Chains A and B, each alone.
Chain A
């Protein structure tokens, strides 16, 4: 079924009754993110990619876990927050990133209750890429700019609007909601090619792990400032810290995004640090993205969104690293 361009606003209005809609929004000249739809204007569906990924919808930058009281009779009260939300216009790379976070937070022996509750109330409406951005490389990471299989609903660009494909029960509910606004017809535009190409392969992932002591890690880490921008902007980076705000006798325990690029991240009481320098930290980040996560969860933790490549103040580029490693270790495709 096809949703014509002129029916976008009516379609969003119908959706708005189901929950808060978050759409790609330019915050200022430099920064864009998923922000609440204003209820009337057409969202900017040409943005490839938003500066900030949509991960904070499911995994807030800072999230209260429980309130506590230590004065008098101590007490604990869990914070439960799971607003109904619709992420609208999520690119295939970011849709896959949500799939990666699901693997971590919804499974692997324990379910993370905070994430699970939010996740249950979020609907993901993905949007194919008619064109790709200057640092996009999802098709080198096993994705396609024209597919988002883990999204609830996929909107594929046509000449006059979008093909609507429901992919889950939540997606079918949205398609049903839109049935009077959609009609037969329309043909999806072919997938564009990504701007960046890189030579990633399973064989290279294995080789990188076995080359743990290779000089390549010394070479690549030189430029790193340890600023954490890559992890902050990465749609799949999910590490968190747990801390508290204490107001004398009562407070809130919260978790917040953390970064494996910070030295404090692994430093133990007493001072020992298993990843004491940026070499160990960058190596861990790259290996986590390219190899460790796949060993554990069966898929690669880089979705090729290109944010880290585009925003690193030192111009560190994971695709350049992959190519360098593939060439050096003879693991090119």
Chain B
């Protein structure tokens, strides 16, 4: 499952210099960066769910999901949560950053063929899920009905609004369901947590795979709802995050039992996670 096509062929720990060609302010604390090599190429070709190590020289380096790619760019979405991510949010378009990857396994795009897909995202957790959503639309004939269920704290915290409200609802045989924990005076959509809305929407667990990512507490209750609705843990697929330094299974810290999230993950089925020590 691991893609060995790392951009830094001779030394996977040394990044290549790239430039940020576009910055999108998704929410007050989330930005999306479109990144390209200095000579105008796509830094690498990730599979959905794979990771990239992004660095600001002299500040730090961290692993983020590659949420999208195009002909000559990749995109990652970063939430302001600490020293490094604060520095990312200070960047201007044109800034040079270090990029290495892609790392880790990917969403099981082949085993999901012929199935209906239910994508569930919470908060910034939509970022990794989005890579598979885009892949599914790019290979539309391979998949059945597509449902996207997304929740955030408030309307202002919704990421990828253009996709959620303009692009994705136009796709064939696709429904987008957006909910917020707390609405505001202009919000006309659903108000409520993801698990409750999920049960209300009453998806049938027949020939359907679920791809979910979000904060741990949301995953916990969403999974409970999914199991109640009759989904099996084998059919529920998620992606994990963990502190990482190397990204290639050497530096040691992202292990859960004998698995490294950077190498054997980040994508696991809920059934696979049940086999690992409870240490997430």
Contacts and interface: CB of A to CB of B under 8 A. Distances in A.
B253 A260 contact: yes
Contacts of A260: 252-253
* 3 nearest A-B pairs in the assembled complex, by CB-CB distance: A269-B82, A239-B252, A292-B258
A212 B280 CA distance: 14
Interface string A8-46: 000000000000000000000000000000000000000
A284 interface: yes
B250 A76 contact: no
Interface stretch (B163-171, B195-203, B238-246): B238-246
A314 B92 CA distance: 51
Contacts of B6: 110
Interface of A is mostly: mixed
A300 B2 CA distance: 25
B277 A209 contact: yes
A238 B250 contact: yes
A239 B253 contact: yes
Which size class do A's interface residues fall under?
35 or more
A269 B81 contact: yes
Given A110-B4, A269-B81, 12 more contacts: A65-B14, A68-B57, A78-B11, A110-B250, A112-B248, A240-B252, A242-B246, A244-B57, A244-B58, A251-B58, A284-B255, A284-B279
B242 A274 contact: yes
Nearest to B10: A113
A112 B8 CA distance: 12
Interface residues of B, number: 44
B57 A70 contact: yes
Contact of B250 (A105, A267, A269): A105
A108 B249 contact: yes
Contacts of B83: 269
A110 B278 contact: no
Interface string A46-79: 0000000000000000000110111000111010
A323 interface: no
B191 to A, nearest CB: 26
Interface string B248-280: 111111011110000100000000000001111
A234 to B, nearest CB: 12
A5 interface: no
B13 interface: yes
Given A112-B248, A274-B279, A292-B258, A258 B253 contact: yes
Nearest to A113: B11
Given A76-B14, A269-B82, A112 B250 contact: yes
Contacts of A242: 13, 61, 245-246, 251
11 contacts: A76-B14, A76-B17, A104-B249, A110-B263, A212-B278, A213-B278, A239-B251, A239-B253, A241-B245, A272-B216, A292-B257
A270 B252 contact: no
A333 interface: no
A212 B245 contact: no
A296 interface: yes
Contacts of A81: none
B84 interface: yes
B75 to A, nearest CB: 20
Contacts of A104: 249-250
Contacts of B280: 274
A113 B246 CA distance: 12
Nearest to A59: B250
